[in-house]
Amino acid sequence: MATSQSNVSKVYKSVIDEVVKNVREAFLNDGVDEQVLQELKQIWESKVTQSEAVSVPEPKPRVLAQNPQDNSQHQRNVVGKHTQQIPMQPAIVSPAIVNPAIVNPAIVNPAPVPAKQQGQHFITTHPQYMQQPHGQYHTTTQIMVPGTSITTIPQQIPQTSQTNQQPIRPAYHGLSVSAIQPTHQTMQPTHQTMQPTHQTMQNLHNPHVTTQQQTSRPSVIIQLDGPNDSDSDDDDDDDDFNDLSHDDDGEDKPQEDGDPLNSEDDVSDDDSSDLFDTDNVVVCQFDRITRSKNKWKFHLKDGIMNLNTKDYVFTKATGEAEW
């Protein structure tokens, strides 16, 4: 790999240099400044490097940074400024956005401090309410647990819901954020990765929703999610939560593993445009293509291959395949 890849970068570098050298005159004839040619070279080289098709010595943290961003974006909508202070830990991102239906002015400030302190659990609480058309409270709970187990969550849900009519400001704040989360054995890594199902999700938020809704069905509606929240934010969030947490059927929840299941099955049935659609491409010239019954043999040369995002070159290649 190392030799092959260094070979690729060497070839690419020589091609770039060669092209730049050979077009210099054309640039001059066209009245284009030499600087533009250098800029072309620079952009070109940087694009090749960015493609990561040619291995470079440096590690590439950029890819890792993507995921937390996705998560944080979701969180940011919900928790607002608090989220920014929560350390992102890509490996164990378990953003759980819990919206207890505790109707109590005590939680006007939705416990940002515990959220920060509990950063390793990556849980944020954010009470959020939405008035349904029929005037009922609607609690939304979204718990996303991508591949990590949260096994140390204390079971203090009853406390939360039962004390909600009492002056629980201290209690609530003392309550660790994770306490709001129901602990269920289903929050195991295997379940989450293999089958983040309906079952799991239900267990995750059902106790929540039911206990809290029942015990705290309030008659007063107060905007409790902090002074800085805007209405538009709330609307967006509620919509999001509705999609995820309200669908108790949960049919669409295992989205993560839904796609991979089907993606390969479809290949043979798709139309031709999809048939030829792949990221792994070999561009080359053929010397000889032979076929005997269903056995094909390929004699190729001067190829550039992009396999699993990496580039390879060959001067000759032979291949066999059965049709």
Partner 1 sequence: MSYQLYRNTTLGNSLQESLDELIQSQQISPKLALQVLLQFDKAINNALASQVKNRANFKGSLNVYRFCDNVWTFVLNNVEFRELPDTIKVDKVKVVACDGRGSSDAQT
* Position among 34, 235, 247, 287 found at the interface with partner 1 (CB under 8 A): 287
Rounded Cα gap, residues 263 and 112, in angstroms: 41
User: Rounded to the nearest 5°, which phi and psi values hold at 134?
Assistant: -90, 15
| 323 is a contact residue toward partner 1 (CB under 8 A) | yes
Residue 102 CA to residue 212 CA, distance in Å, equals 7
- The verdict on 317 binding partner 1 (CB under 8 A) reads yes
Q: x/- contact string, 293-312, with partner 1 (CB under 8 A)?
A: ---x-x-xxxxxxxxx--xx
Q: Nearer to partner 1 by C-beta: 144 or 305?
A: 305
Using CA atoms, how far residue 245 sits from 142, 226, 237, in Å, is: 6, 22, 12
Give CA separation, 121 vs 71, 75, 96, 153, in Å. Answer: 14, 14, 9, 9
**DSSP code, position 261:** H
Q: How many residues does the chain have?
A: 323
Question: How large is the angle between the packed helices 231-245 and 62-79, nearest 10 degrees?
Answer: 110
Q: Which of 63, 113, 194, 275 binds partner 1 (CB under 8 A)?
A: 275
For tokens 């796609």, the residue is 259
Q: Provide, rounded to whole angstroms, the least separation between the CB of residue 60 and partner 1.
A: 16
Q: Which stretch binds partner 1 (CB under 8 A): 17-25, 64-72, 98-106, 215-223?
A: 17-25
Q: Which of 99, 160, 154 is nearest to 121 (CA)?
A: 154
Under the binding rule (CB under 8 A), the answer on residue 322 touching partner 1 is yes
**Number of chain residues interacting with partner 1 (CB under 8 A):** 69
Q: Which is nearer to partner 1, 230 or 272 (CB)?
A: 272
The tokens for 11 are 């070839």
70 binds partner 1 (CB under 8 A): no
Residue 28 near partner 1 by CB under 8 A: no
Chain residues that interact with partner 1, rule: CB under 8 A: 1, 3-4, 7, 10-12, 14-16, 18-19, 22-23, 26-27, 30, 32, 36, 39-40, 43-44, 47-48, 51, 53-54, 264, 267-268, 272, 275-276, 278, 280-289, 296, 298, 300-308, 311-323
